Structures are given as C-alpha cells and as structure tokens.
Amino acid sequence: MAVKKKIYFFSEQKTDGRKSMSDLLGSKGANIAEMCRLGLPVPPGFTVSTEVCGEFLRKKSLGTSLKKDIQKNIQSLEKITNKSFGGENPLLLSVRSGAKFSMPGMMETVLNVGLTSKTVKALVRSSSSERFVYDSYRRLIMMYADVVMEKGLGLGGSPGIREKMEHMLETMKKKNKYSSDSEVSAKEWKGLIKKYLSLIEQNFGVPFPDDHNKQLSGAIEAVFLSWNGKRAKEYRAFEKISNKAGTAVNVQSMVFGNLGKGCGTGVAFTRNPSNGENSFFGEWLPNAQGEDVVAGIRTPQKISGPQKGSLQKEMPKAYKDLEKTRKKLEKHFKEMQDIEFTIENDKLWMLQTRTGKRSGAAAIKIATDMVAERLIKKDEAIRRIEPSQVYESILKNIVEEDLKKAVLLGRGLPAGPGAATGQVVFCAEKAEELGKKGKDVILVRRETSPEDIHGMRYASGILTERGGLTSHAALVARGWGKSCVVGFYGLKIAENNKSAFFGKKRIKEGEWVTLNGADGSIFEKKLELFQQPIKDFEPLRLLLSWADRYRKLHVRTNADTPEDCVQALQFGAQGVGLCRTEHMFFNEKRILQFRKMILAGKREARLKHLRGLLPYQRKDFYKILNTMDGLPVTVRLLDPPFHEFLDIGEKEVASLAKTLKETKKEIIRRIDQLQEVNPMLGRRGCRLGISYPEITEMQVEAILGAALELKKEKKNPRVEIMVPLVGSLEEFLHQKNIIINTYEKLSKKHKQKLSYKIGTMIEIPKACFSAGIIAKNADFFSFGTNDLTQTTFGFSRDDVGSFFPGYLEKGILTFDPFESIDEKGVGALMDIAIKSGKKNNPTLSLGVCGEHGGDPKSINFCNEIGLHYVSCSPFRVPVARLAAAQAVL
Amino acid sequence: MAVKKKIYFFSEQKTDGRKSMSDLLGSKGANIAEMCRLGLPVPPGFTVSTEVCGEFLRKKSLGTSLKKDIQKNIQSLEKITNKSFGGENPLLLSVRSGAKFSMPGMMETVLNVGLTSKTVKALVRSSSSERFVYDSYRRLIMMYADVVMEKGLGLGGSPGIREKMEHMLETMKKKNKYSSDSEVSAKEWKGLIKKYLSLIEQNFGVPFPDDHNKQLSGAIEAVFLSWNGKRAKEYRAFEKISNKAGTAVNVQSMVFGNLGKGCGTGVAFTRNPSNGENSFFGEWLPNAQGEDVVAGIRTPQKISGPQKGSLQKEMPKAYKDLEKTRKKLEKHFKEMQDIEFTIENDKLWMLQTRTGKRSGAAAIKIATDMVAERLIKKDEAIRRIEPSQVYESILKNIVEEDLKKAVLLGRGLPAGPGAATGQVVFCAEKAEELGKKGKDVILVRRETSPEDIHGMRYASGILTERGGLTSHAALVARGWGKSCVVGFYGLKIAENNKSAFFGKKRIKEGEWVTLNGADGSIFEKKLELFQQPIKDFEPLRLLLSWADRYRKLHVRTNADTPEDCVQALQFGAQGVGLCRTEHMFFNEKRILQFRKMILAGKREARLKHLRGLLPYQRKDFYKILNTMDGLPVTVRLLDPPFHEFLDIGEKEVASLAKTLKETKKEIIRRIDQLQEVNPMLGRRGCRLGISYPEITEMQVEAILGAALELKKEKKNPRVEIMVPLVGSLEEFLHQKNIIINTYEKLSKKHKQKLSYKIGTMIEIPKACFSAGIIAKNADFFSFGTNDLTQTTFGFSRDDVGSFFPGYLEKGILTFDPFESIDEKGVGALMDIAIKSGKKNNPTLSLGVCGEHGGDPKSINFCNEIGLHYVSCSPFRVPVARLAAAQAVL
C-alpha cells in the first residue's frame, strides 16, 4: 500500500490542500489552504491530517517517519520565511487544532513555539522590542505548561498550573500597581519567566523543554490528545459528531499584531450578520494579539467607517487590502465569511476564514442579495436558508444587549415562537382584563384548557408548569404565533393565584418577566424585544416567491377565525387545511348555550339549544369562507369530548340547573357521567356526531348555509367538510349521509346548488387499514399526525412530560415524534393509507393538518410519500413554503 | 333454460328431496324428505322451494304454471293417501313455513286446509266424531282469518281477528261454564263457526273461501308473505340471516292426534339435552294436537319409563315404533335429534326432526359418547362442540325452574362467566368482611379499581354501573372465573353506599340479587344455582385430550397468584403467559410500602422502600415458579402508572406524610403531580422502569432470586421476563441491560447459573414497526392485544361504554374488537410484527396474552398467522384447548 500523505503544506508559493479536503485537513486547515490558493496573504505553514490523529491516539506516539516529514516541512517553511527554526532570526510557530466540524473552545492551541533560551536571545537581537520577546516567551511557557505538560501529559493537580501562573502575574502587577499587562517591563517579564520555569520543574518534576523540536512535537501531541478531552467528548456526544473523525493540527508561522504601531488584529464578517446588509462588519484592536481581543479587556474598535479609531481611518492601506480580501473571499466562496486577521508592521495576514453565522433575517437578505449579485442561483438561495431562519426572521427576539445582562429564572420546553415580555397574571380572566387595556401580560398557568382561550388571546406570552410541546397551550400559542414556554416544572403557583415560585424566586402578580419561546428560557424583568416587520421584508417575499415556483406541495393553514385567515393569507397560505369548529363555542354567550345543549336530557331540548347556536356558527363560517374566497377551506366537525366544555364552578352549575329546571345534584351527576378515564380515546370526533346526529346536522347546516349564501352573492366558497377520528367505512358513511341529506334540504331551501367535498381525517392506526374502502367514498384524506402519533406510540401529549426529558437525555428517543413525523412507524402507517387510498380513488386529495405540517423534516417526508398539501399554523406558512421547495430541490 | 324444479314431493313411496337440499327445501322440508328416504312414517306431502318464495314476493302471484304443478302434486297425494282434496273422504292439508335457518315462531302455519262446507259434511260421514270435525273446521277458520286474510292480505284492524274470535269462544265457554275446549259440543262448535264466518265477512268485506283450492293457494301465499313480516325481518337483521334466502312451504297431509283413544302427540329429544345421557327424553299428550302441547293447558307426560302416563306404558306399540325411529334417526344423522310426532289411531307419524339444542355439558357428553358408539370420529366430536359450550359446561348456571319465575331488574354487559347469587354490598371492605365469614356477596360498584381487588376476591359476583367488557372489573372477574356484569347504566348507588336503584327498584345493602354473567341479566332475590363438578366431568377431560393431539398452539394462562396457577393447571395450562406483578402490591402491608416508594422524593429513599418490598415479591415468585415447575412462566415487569396506587383518602395521606416526614400538602402535591390526563397513554410499562431503573432491578432480583433458589433445590424454573409497552429497540435494550446486569450479580452471589428468557410485549402500533430490530435482541414477543386494540382504534376500554352500544346497534361495529381480534387492523399490525420478527430471529417465540387469548375466533386467527401460544385466564384454558384444535381441523 502506498504511504498516504500525512502532512499538507500551505503558503502563497505552494499549497497541497484545498477547501474540499476538510475531512483530512479539518475545516480550518482546508480554508487556510484555499486562501493560499487564492493568493491571499496567509502565514505559511502545514497541516497534519486528521488521519494522523487516530493513528497517534492508538499508538500514543507520532513515530519517526512522521517526525521526519515534519522536519522536511519545517525546512520548506524556513526557506519561504527566510527564518530558521531554533536558530538566528528564529522561526516561531503556532500549533492549533482544527476538526471538520466546529467545536468552539473545545480544543487546544499553543503559540510562539520555538522560543528557547537560545532563540529568545536571537530574537531580541533581530527584533526591535525586548519587552515583546519576553512577553511572547512567557505566553509560550504558560500555554505549554498548561496544554502540553498538565493536560496533555496528564500531570498537574489543583489548582492548575495556569491558575498558579496567573496568580503570580497578578501578584507582581499588584506589587507594581500595574493595571494592565502592557505596563510590565522586559525585565519584569524576565523575572517572572524565571519563576515560571522553576515552578514547572517543581510542579511536574520535569523542566520546560528548552528545545524547539521537543516543543513542537509536544504541542502537536497535546492537540491530538485534546480530541479525547472530557469536554470535547461531551460536546461531540451532544452534537452527534463521530469520535472517529479526529482533529487536524495546523502548524503555522507566527505573525504578531502586538509589535507596536502599524500592528493590530481583528475579526470581521464580510456582511452584516444581524441584518444581512452588504457592508463590512467587524472589530479590531491596535497593537494586540488575537487572545487580547477575546479577553475583552480593551474595547475593540469598528473596522469600517470614517470615524476615529476605525481601521479604515487608522490604517488605510491595511484596510484597503482587507477590503480587497473580503471581496475576493465572497466572490470565491459565494458566502458571507467570518474572518480573522493580523496586521504586522502594516502587512495584512489572513489567519482564518469560514462561513459566518448569521440571524435568520440576515441569511435571507444575504441569499437574495447574492442572487442579485449573480454570485449564486435562485435554487441555491433556497437551499441555503434553514426553514427555522425564516421562522426566526418573522418573530420577536430579545435585544442582544438586554439578553447579556438578563437573569435566568429557569427553563421549560420551547413551545411557542419568539420572545414575549409582560406582567405576570395567573388566570385567564385577569389576562383578558389587562390585555384589553393594552397591557402586556404573560399568562402563567399550571396548564391551559379551552376555557382559557379568551385569556390566552390577550396574553403576549404563555407559561405553563405542565404539558409537552403539543399540549393545549403549545398548540394554541403556535397557532397564533404567540410566545409560549411549557413544562416549566420549577413553577409552583400559589393557591390564591396571586404569586408563584419560579424556581427559587417568588414572582407576584403584576411583576414583569420575559419568555423566550425559541429556547424555553424564562427571565426576570422586562427585556427589550425587536421584530423585523414582516410586510416590509422584501427579501423574504422574494425568496418565497422563488420557492413557490419549485415546490409541488400546496401550503394551507390551520385557522379557526377570520383573523387567523387574514394573517395566513399575508403569509401566502393557499387555503385552510383545518378549521376547528369547537373554538367557536368558547365565547361567553355561546358556551352557555353549548353547555345547555350537552346537558339537555332529551333530544328535543338538545335540538332547541343547537338551533340557538346555529346563527353564530353560520356567521363564523360566512366570515371565514368570505375571507378565503376562491381557496379551499377544510372544516372539521366537532371533535373534543363534551367534558372539555364542562370544567365549571359551583356558580355555573347552579345557573345551569336553574335554566334546565333540574337539581344541582342532577347537573353534577350529568357532568360527572361525561367524565372519561382517557379522554383522548373516548367519545370524541365522529363518535360524537354518531351519538348525536343532530350536532352534525347543525354544523353542516351552518357551514353549507354560509357557503350557499356566499354563492348567491356570486362569491366562490370552496368548502370541504371533514369527519374527524374515523376508523371504519361505516363511521364515515354514517356522517357522510347526514351531510348529504342536510345539503339536499338546504339546497332546495336556498334554491341554489353548490359543489363541496366530503373527506375524513386519518388519525388513528385503524383508519390507515380501512383507508382503501373509505377512499372509494371520500374526496380527501387529511392526516391528523398529532393524534396518529399519540396512538401509534401510545403517548399522551399531555402526559409525556414526565418521561420525555429522560428519554431524550438517555438517547431512547433521538427526536421528538410530535415535532417531526416518525417515518418508520407513523410514516409507515401513512404510507399504507396513501397507497391503498390512491389505488381505490385516483382523484383522492391528500394532506396533513397535524403540527407536523409546519416542520421542515416532516414536510420533506410528506413530499416524498406523495401528499398534495400540508397545513400548518399561520406563522409556519412561510416556513412550509420554503421547506416544500427544498424537498423538491 | 330448463325450467327449474319448483316442487319436491315426499312420501314413503317417492321422495324428490334430501337432507343436503336445505337451501331449496328449508331445514324442515329437507329433514322431512330425509325421513321419508329412511322409510320412516311421514305424512306425505310436498315442499314448494325457497326459490319460489323470492319469485312470488317479486311478482306477488304464484303464477299458473306453479298452480298446475301444485295440482299435479295434490293428485299424487290423493293417490297415495287414497283421499280426495275437496271431495269425499277429504284430504286435509297442513301448510307450514320452513326456512333454511331456524326462525322460531317468526312465520306462519295454517292447518286443516281443505275443509269447506262440502268436505266438512263428507268428513263427518267418514269420521267417527262430528265434534272433532267441527273443532278442526273452526281451527282452520281462525288460523286462516288471522294468517291469510288479516296478515297475509293486509286486511283487518285492531283488535285483531284472532283476538275477537278467541273472545267469542271464551264468552261461549263462560256462558256454558266450560273450563276447557274439550267440553264444547259439536253443536256449539257449529254455532260458533257460523258466527266466525259472518264476523269474517263483516270484518274483511269478503267471505271465508269455501273452496279448497283457494284455501291452499291463499295459505301458501300467506306463508311466503310472512317471510317479509316485521318480526321476521327484525329477527333476520339481528341474526344476520340474508333476506334473499326465502322460506319454503311444506304442504303435508294432516294427521290427527286428537281423534280420541289411541291418539296423541309429542315432542322428544333422542338424548337428554341437559346432561347428554343416552336416554329417550320427551313429553307427550294423549288425544291432542301439536298446538295443545305448546299452549300448555294440560301437563304433558313423560315418554319413557314404566310409570303410569308414560307413552311407554300407555301405548307400548307406538312407543316401540318411536324408539326404533329414534335409533334409526341417530344412526343416520349421527346427531342427537329433536323430533315431533303424532299418533293417529295407534299409528306413529313423524312430523319433524332436527338437530337438538343442548347444554354445554350435554353437547360434550353426547359427542364423546357418540365416538365411543362409533357413530362419529374424534375429529368430528371436536369440530362439533362450540368452544362456548366448554365454557358453559364448567360454570354456574341458574336452575331452570328458578329462572322461569325470576324478576328481572335490568341488564348490563355480560362480562363475567356464569351466574352468582348473593347479598348486595357497595364497598370492597364490606365484601371482604362478609366474604370472610363465608357469606355470598355481590359487590356493586360504580366501577372497580385495583384498590377493590381484596373485596372482589371475596365477592361471589361483581356488578358495575360503568365500564365495558374489558374494564377492570370484567378483566379481573374473568381471570378468576367470577360472575360479573358491567355497564349496567340503570344503576345509581346512593352516596352513603347503603342502597342503590337498580332501574326503578331500590335495593338495600344485604338484600339478595342474582347475576347472570352469561347474558348480563340481573335478577331480584336469591335464585338457585347449579354447577357441573369439573374434575368429575370425564367427557370434557376426554374431549380435550383428543383436542390436545390435534392442536398446534400451546395454551398458557394469565395468572398472578399460586392459586390461579393451581386452577389453570387443573384446566390443562401449559405454562403462564402473563404474570402481572402489580397485583402483588395490593396487599395492605405492601401497598403502604409501595406508596412510600412512589412518593419518596429521593432515589435513596425509594431504594429503601423497594428493598422492603423485595422479600414479598421474591416469595410470590418462588411460589408461582414452584407451582409451575418445568413449565414456562412469563413475568411482566411493573406496568400500571403510579397514580393507580394512590387513590387514597385523607387518613392515608396524613399517615404517609408522617412516615415520610413531609407536610400533608406536600404529599398531596406529589400525588397530584402523578395524575395523568390519559393514563392509558402516560408513564406506564417500560416507561416506569426507564424513569426508575431501580424498580426494574428490584423486580428482576425478586424473579431471578426466586428462580435461582429453586434451581438450587433441583427444581426446574423456566422464567421469561417480559418488558411491557415497548415501542423502540432503545427502550427494550435499556431494560434488557438492567435485567442482564442484575442476573450477573445474583448469579455470582448465589453461585448458580440459570437460563432464562427476555422478551417484550407488543402492544402499541409503533412496536409492530420496530419488531424487526427488536426481534434480533429478544427471545419472545407476546402480543398484548387489549392495548393494541385500544391504540389501533383509539378506544379506551374504560370509556367506550358511552358509544359502543350505539355503534353495535347501528351496525357501525359488527363485532366487539375487544372480544375478537380485529383481523384487518390489529391483525394486520400483528402480521407486520410477526413477519419481520421471524425474519430477523427464526427462533423467536410468539404468543398472545390479551383477553383475546381465550376467544375462539381470535385463537383461530392466532393459529393462522403463526403464533406459538395463546395465554388466557384459567377458566378459558379448556376453551382455548378446544378452539386451538378446531383451528387446525
């Protein structure tokens, strides 16, 4: 077998590597090589490949052949730099880790390798500053003692050697009343170095290696060893990075930004990472090394701009070079870059470049700008945006500065989008009261129920002790694009609903808190929020218009009110995929009527109360269908079990008893009889409509009555009536017959015909096996993947909170099946239903209306298995439009 | 097309039909034909086929060709009987319905057809009794008016004509102070007939047809029309008999058992239908017609025996003929027959034979006897017994005489086997208290929970207001073979638990009621019960020993206690397929410890309480494994959610708070936090063991500790540990690792090795899709078809009571999927799991341990899809053994 190349040289003259070799060279090494190929000024050096890492970790030795290779490369370096490693005009090296995937701060670096008692003197001779040389020497000694000797060789104890050395430095500075390192003189550094060297020998029993080659191999070994450091391993486990990948080692000739005037160092983005504007964005420090910028002792200055202190102003030539480099990099990488540079005696040196992290809005702006600049094609722009970035771009966020100083109260599950700040209230009534006055409130509840809806409407954010990501609170909040954190088990609400413990801190009603629905964190006090105005955000509109041309899936919305519809239309919804009719009953006046209907002992009484509800529902549907004119609207018949409407107090019982002319005891008995052990698996969905056909009749009359009215007004209502929770053909036909009969009656009455569709929700496994015969009689299937997930896994979304965190932590679940469709189980069932459904009815329309309809991974799956549309909450519509395009690309 | 034969003649001389032609001739007609072929004395006649029925109902006319056919057959009859239809020595005919499937009492009959003003006179001349002739004539007129004119032609009103005629007869008898019809003289009959005839004309506007041919075709048409009578249609809908089948019409020459001495009529079984003994069993009436026996005015006499009044004693010749016929029939039909006969002037006439209905015990005795008598083969005996008859044969039943006079309080769902009688109590404590004193109690509860177990143990029967056939009460009761009725919605228990309304009747604690678990009826008062002693019932033992040789499926039992095991072994169980460990905690002492464990805040405290429970569990397992020595015992790890153990009162809370050194409030908070919205889909099964690995450890230590102890004692414990509610490989492996590690530790400690199996329960749809990869790591799968049905359908067995009755009534469900496996949904999922399981692990053992394991239809399915065993409650084991053999046959 041919010996594999282990070391890759890079310089402006000769470079072995390239960008595509990040497997071998790590991401940093590959990018450095690419910069060299571009002819950018990169301090020359070489990369020891990731393959050597594994070899070294097995053999615990670099081996003689590798050492020879290193020597050869050092010789090349000496030639290019005209310096000598360990000799006069000494070559100094940096030794840095560099894995394929970024592991920020996880691994080690040693700088100034090559300084020995001999070369220090030579350097003092050749350099202009003795102070700088000894400062560099002490930096090497500190890093080497820490990284190579203590961590690498496993020597050392507590406190660590670095801590001891820092302490010695501080003591010396204190003694001399120095406030910064720059005040330390060459002599003082020399004195400290002496102390350091004896501390090392005392501490480790071996001296600091006064040999440049030993230093180099020691540093390389230490970097390799840091791959298996505890923190690095944990990080990889968490980020699911393979342990086999290994790190490369980048050995590079040192350049110095701290040689005095005409020197500096900085970091920059080639565009603005917050808003995506095409302007140079970065910070620099004159006369400093990279680590000084990170340490944050001095305030960095802006790179661009005519103001004093900017690089542009202070070092115009270097700035010009940098600006040229920036353009070159973007043109080459076709991506916004995050760069590090050093200026040594007015010469610019590029130390690193990589794809820059950015906000959602910035990502969209940059991608669309780059299309305009002809850097990338439209499809590439679409591919490049994470759907979550679209979501992020339209939501509220906490202002960066506020976030830095915020005090965390605890963390729950990130259920709702974006951030919210407001005064805490503990009941829906209070939320409504204050919300109506225009106040920002955060509704804090143990859990929410449909009865809280009126308060939730008025709350800026919702926080619950219980429930998972698909609990009632989470679903409602996401539907409205409202910030929500659920499953915050640190919450204990006082019985009087006037205060609560948020972890250890007691928060009273009226105090301010801030939620971040994106990561589940809860902060003390009011924090400032910002939001990108949606309509005004042209880049997003542009991006999505491109996406619309690629995607095959239609995107509809789940909307229960005309307001939801308006919002969803703004986001580009192509119809309503799920209009839940039950929320329409949770209005004060209607709920009373509805309760009377439920508790009515006899059919006649029930009918009377249903008649009472009819005008309300018809009006609701009229408004929704009018708003969505010309677009399909799928209305689901009543779904939740009766008892969800009956969580009432003594007062309401008494009032109901009075109006129904029954004893309170009897009312309580009736309510009690409606309780269920497992409501999720009880009398709900079509089971209600089959038990009480008159309810289906009333609802259909309201839906089709509204549609017929619109038709008369020359509008184009496109109604689809959906029967929920169907398991068998018989259930479906029972409800379908009622729908058809009701239509016939109405149509005669209105003297108006209407074409409409009847379909069913596929949301229990049994339905997937009955799908074939149902399809023959249905116009559409809509997969209710929430409930299908619940029944397939036997998971109640209200109860999984007690074991889901443990499951995710122990790796028993690798993803949350309520977030992304479980392709192997739920997906397999869907596939069974789709195949048999299409076979039996080629014109069957197929969609999904569970929460998954807004999840990019699930959307990709929906596209794959041949659905026609997804339906999601209004705020998810743009996300879905992009994800649907990506699924095709 | 050849004209199809429409009429089938039968007589001792010439017979067109045969037994196998029941499709065409109906069951009665086919059996009559077969009797003729056997040379038995059957009054000659002919059968108009079922095909004519459909034709007639379409055309509303018999048609001329059929009428001609009828005339031809009448001529044949005249020839054979030497009588003339409508002439001197008049031939009289009976016209009876006869469908393929028995529809008792649903359709019509007309007797004595052919009596007209002319033939009456002729008959008076040729017969010895004028009184008999007019009696016969008035019978014809009554039946004809009712069946043909009122019902058939749709004339008539209210009250009906028969009622009016009965009233006239009664008035006449009252006037003459007659107590029975036999006292009415010829003259008086003549007078009444006159009145009847004018009533008919007055009532219907048309006269009674004084033409024998018109009478005949009218009667035939009326029988055909009765096929579509309201009652008949309802009956067929209920029994799922096709409406297309149609009825045949049997026209037969009349014989008379009421011509005086030497005459009589009777019904008999060829063997004893109650206990199956091979002795002639029947009743007869001298000088009577069939309808007199049915009317029940005179007490019928026994057929056999030397006592006065028996047919054997009174009419020895006829008896001898009947006895010969009985033998001939059994030899020919190889089945116990239910016969009707008439003796006319000492001549025996056979009117009907059919397979006789019998009790379960009788069925088994007869079948095994017939094998001994070489009438049938063993496989036929196995095929012939309904599995439900085996069940019936081992259970308690209400004594027939008591049942007749019993007062029904209401009806619930027939949940538990057999009958029970006892004093009503309304709480488990009272049930235990009285039960311990040896009293018979019926525990009446709204619903039961595991906390009621101790009382349920001591109750003779259980009655609940709520719950379905797989509710807690039903499951427990069936497991113990205990009578149980659930879902009796007429029940309202008073709040003080001292009385309840059973429908409209108030029953107080201590009053007696009787339950029939077989049909769900609830009776007032104590009724006498009887039970076939099981061990002594040799025929069942014999039958099942034959079944064992045929069946491929093994039969195990679901047993939680050594007592259950002993019982199941007596019934022939081949192992335990499901041993639920949670019931072991419901003992007073243990439950306290268990509750402390659950509510312990910290792991250490939980461990301490678990240690306390260990010895109890080990002892339980020791006993069970010892009882089942050499047979496999599948133990399921803890399954129910914690809150099921925490349904406690204030007193217990206070006591727990004290021992746990917490405030009552804190204890309530902890209990409250364990509540779940949908317990069925919450933290249970392996989710518990994953959240609290120490519980799994303790249980495994108890199970394997007991097994190792037995191994040391040279016993052969065959332990199989089952992980419940697994959905993914990761869940299974998590628990498997704990089991293996615990075994390693124990094995070292005991210095003893043990081979044991680890498997899982497949009870959620997701598991069926993960089955392939799980199978690679598992020794066995046991299908938990109860839960699999719940999740597949989205049905909570505790809550379906509110809509199941309606579903079954409306035909939306054609069967209860909790009773028989839903082959198309649940079965399809099982099939997916079995196929991928076997493919990935050819030695995988496969069983079912849901309630379906005892259901014959499901057992057949289990056999088909390739399971290795079924497991059911002890009392179901014999049923399963038979059903498993039938599945093969």
Give this complex's ipTM.
Answer: 0.80
Separation of CA A445 from chain center = 25
CB A735, CB A636: distance < 8 Å:
no
Distance from CA of A147 to the nearest CA of B (A): 38
Helix H or strand E encompassing B48:
strand B45-48
φ, ψ of residue B251 to 5 degrees: the values are -105, 120
Mean pLDDT of all residues in A554-578: 94
Residues from chain B that touch A794, judged by Cβ atoms under 8 A, are 680-681, 725, 727, 763-764, 766, 787, 791
Buried b vs exposed e over B159-193: b needs ≥16 C-beta within 10 Å? eebbebbeeebeebbeeeebeeeeebeeebbbebb
Helix H or strand E encompassing B294:
helix B290-295
Cite the DSSP H helix spans in A334-374: 360-372
Residues from chain B that touch A770, judged by Cβ atoms under 8 A, are 824-825
Confidence at B772, pLDDT banded by 50, 70, 90? very high
Residues from chain B that touch A824, judged by Cβ atoms under 8 A, are 769-770
B344 touches chain A (CB under 8 A): no
Percent of chain B with pLDDT over 90: 63
Task: Name the residue in chain B with its Cα closest to that of A472.
Answer: B677
Cβ separation of B791 and A796 shorter than 8 Å? no
- pLDDT surpassing 80 at residue B587: no
Distance from CA of B698 to the nearest CA of A (A): 20
pLDDT for res A530: 77
pLDDT tens, residue by residue, B127-159: 778 999 999 999 999 999 999 998 877 766 667
- Interchain CB contacts (distance < 8 Å): A and B: 160
Is residue A862 part of the annotated active site? The answer reads no
A734 touches chain B (CB under 8 A): yes
User: Could you say which of B731, B793, B803 has the minimum Cβ distance to residue A683?
Assistant: B803
Task: Name the residue in chain B with its Cα closest to that of A794.
Answer: B681
Residues from chain A that touch B681, judged by Cβ atoms under 8 A, are 678, 680-681, 790-791, 794-796, 799
Cβ separation of B806 and A763 shorter than 8 Å? no
Least confident window among A349-358, A377-386, B207-216: A349-358
CB B793, CB A728: distance < 8 Å:
no
pLDDT for res A157: 65
pLDDT tens, residue by residue, B188-235: 999 999 999 999 999 888 999 999 999 999 999 999 998 988 778 877
pLDDT tens, residue by residue, B326-373: 999 999 999 999 999 999 999 999 999 999 888 788 899 999 999 999
CB A72, CB A215: distance < 8 Å:
no
Cβ separation of B678 and A683 shorter than 8 Å? no
Cβ separation of A680 and B681 shorter than 8 Å? yes
Pairing status of strand B109-113 against strand B93-99: antiparallel
Q: Does residue B394 sit in helix, strand or coil?
A: coil
Cβ separation of B794 and A680 shorter than 8 Å? yes
pLDDT for res B402: 79
SS (H, E, C) B231-291: HHHHHHHHHCCCCCCCEEEEEEECCCCCCCCCCEEEEEECCCCCCCCCCCEEEEEECCCHH
A766 touches chain B (CB under 8 A): yes
- Most distant CA pair in chain A, distance: 107
Q: Does residue A13 sit in helix, strand or coil?
A: coil
CA B44-B49-B50 angle, to 5 degrees, is 140
Least confident window among A125-129, A870-874, B707-711: A125-129
Helix A826-840 vs helix A765-775: crossing angle, to nearest 10:
10
Task: Name the residue in chain A with its Cα closest to that of B680.
Answer: A678
Cβ separation of A730 and B812 shorter than 8 Å? yes
Q: How far is CA B19 from CA A402, B7, B27, B180, B342, in A?
A: 95, 15, 8, 40, 22
Partnered with residue B872 across adjacent β-strands are B557
Cβ separation of B680 and A796 shorter than 8 Å? yes
Strands of A765-814 (E only): list them. 780-783
Buried b vs exposed e over A194-213: b needs ≥16 C-beta within 10 Å? eebbebbeebbeeebbeebb
Distance from CA of B605 to the nearest CA of A (A): 20
Cβ separation of B803 and A763 shorter than 8 Å? no
- pLDDT surpassing 50 at residue B1: no
Buried b vs exposed e over A289-316: b needs ≥16 C-beta within 10 Å? bbebbeeeeeebbbbbeeeeebbbebbe
The one-character DSSP state at B208 is: P
User: Could you say which of B682, B765, B799 has the minimum Cβ distance to residue A791?
Assistant: B765
Strands of A403-551 (E only): list them. 408-411, 413-414, 419-425, 441-445, 461-464, 483-486, 491-493, 499-502, 505-508, 512-516, 521-524, 529-531
The mean predicted confidence, pLDDT, of chain B is 90
- First CA to last CA across chain B, in angstroms? 40
User: Could you say which of A682, A731, A828 has the minimum Cβ distance to residue B769?
Assistant: A828
Residues from chain B that touch A825, judged by Cβ atoms under 8 A, are 727, 765-766, 769-770
pLDDT for res B283: 87
Cβ separation of A825 and B790 shorter than 8 Å? no
pLDDT for res A1: 42
CB A113, CB A94: distance < 8 Å:
yes
Cβ separation of A793 and B725 shorter than 8 Å? no
pLDDT for res B376: 97
- pLDDT surpassing 70 at residue A296: no
pLDDT for res A295: 60
Dihedral of the alpha carbons of B872, B876, B882, B886, in degrees to the nearest 10? -60
pLDDT tens, residue by residue, A497-519: 888 899 888 999 999 999 988 78
- The set of residues, in sequence order, having a beta carbon less than 8 Å from that of B766 and lying 6+ positions away, is A792, A793, A794, A822, A825, A826, B727, B728
pLDDT tens, residue by residue, B69-89: 999 999 999 999 999 999 989
Which of B802, B822, B831 best probes binding to A when mutated, by most A CB atoms within 10 angstroms? Answer: B802
Residues of B tagged active-site: 472, 849
- Cβ neighbourhood burial of A446 (10 Å; 0-12, 13-18, 19+): middle
B614: left (phi over 0), alpha (psi -120 to 50) or beta: alpha
Task: Name the residue in chain A with its Cα closest to that of B729.
Answer: A812
Distance CA B636, CA B583 (A): 11
Cβ separation of A682 and B790 shorter than 8 Å? no
Is residue A472 part of the annotated active site? The answer reads yes
User: Could you say which of A787, A802, A826 has the minimum Cβ distance to residue B683?
Assistant: A802
Selected residues 664-703 of chain B with any CB under 8 Å from a CB in chain A: 676-683, 687, 690-691
Confidence at B2, pLDDT banded by 50, 70, 90? very low
Separation of CA B127 from chain center = 49
pLDDT for res A288: 87
Which of these, A788, A781, A726, A717, lies nearest to A755 by C-alpha position? A717
pLDDT tens, residue by residue, A272-290: 887 889 999 888 999 888 7
pLDDT for res B235: 75
- What's at B343, amino acid-wise? I
Cβ separation of A806 and B691 shorter than 8 Å? yes
- pLDDT surpassing 70 at residue A158: no
- pLDDT surpassing 50 at residue A2: no
pLDDT tens, residue by residue, B433-473: 888 788 899 999 988 876 787 788 889 899 998 877 667 78
Residues from chain B that touch A687, judged by Cβ atoms under 8 A, are 803
Cβ separation of A791 and B795 shorter than 8 Å? no
- pLDDT surpassing 60 at residue A560: yes
